[in-house]
Chains A and B, each alone.
Chain A
Amino acid sequence: MEQVITLISLSVIFGAMLSGFATFRLTGMRLMPHFISLILAFLLTLASLIIPNSIVFYLAIIFQILSALTICPTICNILKTQFQNTGIYSAHLALMGMLLVLAIGNALGIR
Chain B
Amino acid sequence: MVRKFSVKGLRSPSLLIDMILSDAKDDILIVETDGEEQIKDIENLLKKYNLKYEVEGNVVKIHVGEIKADKSINVVGATCPGPIMMVSDMLSKMKNGEILEIICGKNALTDLTEGLKGMGNEIISVEEKEDGTYRILVKKGEKKEEEKATVKIDELFIINTTGTGNAEKAYSTFMMADVALKMNLKPTIFLMMDGASLALKGECDKVKHPAFPKLGDLVRDILKKGVKVYVCELSAEFRGINEKNLEDGFEIAGAPTFLNYLSKPNVRPVWL
Q: Chain A: residues with CB nearer than 8 A to chain B?
A: 26-30, 78, 80-85, 88
Shortest beta-carbon distance from A71 to chain B in Å: 14
A28-B207, A28-B209, A80-B239 known; A85+B162 contact, CB < 8 A: yes
B165 with A82: CB separation less than 8 A: yes
Residue from the set B197, B203, B240 with the largest chain A CB neighbour count within 10 Å: B197
* Complex Cα–Cα for A26 and B207 (A): 11
A81 with B208: CB separation less than 8 A: no
Contacts of B207 in A (CB 8 A): 27-28, 30
Interface segment among B28-36, B48-56, B116-124, B166-174: the answer is: B166-174
**Quick one: closest B residue to A28, CB to CB?**
B167
* Complex Cα–Cα for A78 and B170 (A): 15
B194 with A28: CB separation less than 8 A: no
B167 with A82: CB separation less than 8 A: no
**Quick one: closest A residue to B170, CB to CB?**
A28
B200 with A81: CB separation less than 8 A: yes
A26-B166, A28-B168 known; A82+B197 contact, CB < 8 A: yes
Contacts of B209 in A (CB 8 A): 28-29
Shortest beta-carbon distance from A28 to chain B in Å: 3
Cross-interface CB contact of A85 among B166, B171, B210, B241, cutoff 8 Å: B166
A-B contact pairs, 27 of them (CB 8 A): A26-B165, A26-B166, A26-B167, A27-B166, A27-B207, A28-B167, A28-B207, A28-B208, A29-B208, A29-B210, A30-B164, A30-B167, A78-B165, A80-B239, A80-B240, A81-B164, A81-B197, A81-B240, A82-B162, A82-B163, A82-B165, A82-B194, A82-B197, A84-B161, A85-B163, A85-B166, A88-B165
B193 within 8 A of A: yes
B239 with A27: CB separation less than 8 A: no
Contacts of A29 in B (CB 8 A): 167, 208-210
Contacts of B193 in A (CB 8 A): 84
A85 with B167: CB separation less than 8 A: no
Encoded as 1 (CB less than 8 Å from any A CB) or 0, chain B from 184 to 213 comes to 000000000110110010010011111000
Q: Chain B: residues with CB nearer than 8 A to chain A?
A: 161-168, 170-171, 193-194, 196-197, 200, 203, 206-210, 215, 239-241
Contacts of A78 in B (CB 8 A): 165
Q: 8 nearest interchain CB pairs?
A: A28-B167, A81-B197, A82-B165, A82-B194, A81-B239, A84-B194, A85-B165, A28-B207
A81 with B194: CB separation less than 8 A: yes
Contacts of B206 in A (CB 8 A): 30
**Quick one: closest A residue to B240, CB to CB?**
A80
Contacts of A88 in B (CB 8 A): 165
B164 with A27: CB separation less than 8 A: yes
* Complex Cα–Cα for A28 and B200 (A): 17
B208 with A83: CB separation less than 8 A: no
Shortest beta-carbon distance from B55 to chain A in Å: 40
Residue from the set B165, B166, B167, B210 with the largest chain A CB neighbour count within 10 Å: B165
* Complex Cα–Cα for A28 and B206 (A): 9
Contacts of B164 in A (CB 8 A): 27-28, 30, 81-82
**Contacts beyond the supplied A80-B239, A81-B241, A85-B165: 13 A-B pairs with Cβ under 8 Å:** A26-B167, A26-B168, A28-B164, A28-B171, A28-B208, A29-B167, A29-B208, A30-B164, A80-B240, A82-B197, A84-B161, A84-B162, A88-B165
Contacts of A85 in B (CB 8 A): 162-163, 165-166, 194
Shortest beta-carbon distance from A99 to chain B in Å: 22
A83 with B170: CB separation less than 8 A: no
A81 with B170: CB separation less than 8 A: no
